[in-house]
Amino acid sequence: MRSMLVLIGGGQRDQVVFQTASAAARPLSAHLDCLHIHVTPGQFARESAVEFASGPALRDALIGLQTKSETFSRAAADNVRELCARSMIELCEANRPSDATGVTASFREETDNTFERLTFHARHNDLVVMGRAKQTQGLPKDTLERLILRCGRPMLLAGAHAPERLDTIMVCWKRSDQPARAVAAAAPLLARAKRVVFTTVAEPDSKGIDALDKLAQQFAQANVQTDVKIIPPNGRKIPDMLSAAAEECAADLVVMGAYGRARALEFLFGSCTESLLKSSDKPILLLH
């Protein structure tokens, strides 16, 4: 993970998102590619009730949206400068200098074809860091879900508070492809953690326990303290049990696979991924 795309909205959550990205970047000496999506009034209107206005009301609404969009853009640039200065991170004009040794950052803004450009930049970074779905400053409400499904990169979603370091990481495990891919993507962070807790909801004699033990042993051989936590099913919802386990082990980060079931089924019956995002305020690293 040499480069991390950090979505900066120009709002109050920018500090938590940036500091969460910094916590992931510091042990890896990574570059923070800070991106602001400048949402035009027309795009903003499509995500609001403005489309139902007409005449002078429409004109006034578009002027208000233009002002709001420009305010977000100025705030995003100012926030990155202030956060870099506060964190003593070098702010570069564009790419990371070849002689840089610590964490560096850059800032860019995109206006046209916003989701397509966001996906483009996501695919050209090793990790995407952003806030939860409600911090989008005019982007479509399903931006987070669409990006998880389309960009092919692990995504780190900031929690209520930014950790100073990613010392304790909890891995949510089950026998499917998505958690295995998430662990592989998070391996650079797991290898530098002080403690990794592998957690699963299963019966103690489940066939998947042996695989989980072997996974923990792999990281233990790399001098990482590992623990295996088996949560027996007790009638509670799995997201609630995982959220409680993250609190119990004081996890700085939770790693899990995203959207394991078919999307049509998840639309009908709900998603463990989405439920955990609602029940836990921890930073969560996802990979579909």
- State both tokens at 263: 């999307």
Element (H, E) at 189: helix 177-191
Q: Looking at mean pLDDT, say which of 33-42, 80-89, 147-156, 211-220 comes out highest.
A: 80-89
108/178 same-domain check: no
pLDDT in tens, 136-195: 556 667 777 788 888 889 999 999 899 999 999 999 988 777 888 899 999 999 999 999
* pTM for the predicted model, two decimal places: 0.85
203/150 same-domain check: no
Tell me what the mean pLDDT of segment 11-26 comes to. 93
In terms of residue numbers, what domain contains 248? 168-287
115/13 same-domain check: yes
Q: How far apart are CA 3 and CA 271, in angstroms?
A: 29
pLDDT at 202 over 70: yes
Number of domains into which the chain is organized: 2
Length of the chain: 288
Residue 7, class by beta-carbon neighbours within 10 Å (0-12 exposed, 13-18 middle, 19+ buried)?
Answer: buried
Structure confidence at residue 110 (pLDDT): 85
141/180 same-domain check: no
101/172 same-domain check: no
Going 87 to 101 to 4 to 66, the CA torsion angle's sign is positive
40/151 same-domain check: yes
Looking up residue 147, the CATH number of its domain turns out to be 3.40.50.620
- State both tokens at 15: 């500090």
pLDDT in tens, 266-282: 443 346 777 777 778 89
| 162 domain-assigned | no
| 220 domain-assigned | yes
| 197 domain-assigned | yes
59/186 same-domain check: no
pLDDT at 254 over 70: yes
SS (H, E, C) 228-239: EEEECCCCCCHH
| 163 domain-assigned | no
237/149 same-domain check: no
- State both tokens at 252: 């700085």
Q: Which of 157, 181, 215 is the last residue of a domain?
A: 157
123/33 same-domain check: yes
| 20 domain-assigned | yes
| CA-closest candidate to residue 194, choices 165, 159, 156 | 165
| 283 domain-assigned | yes
- State both tokens at 250: 């004081």
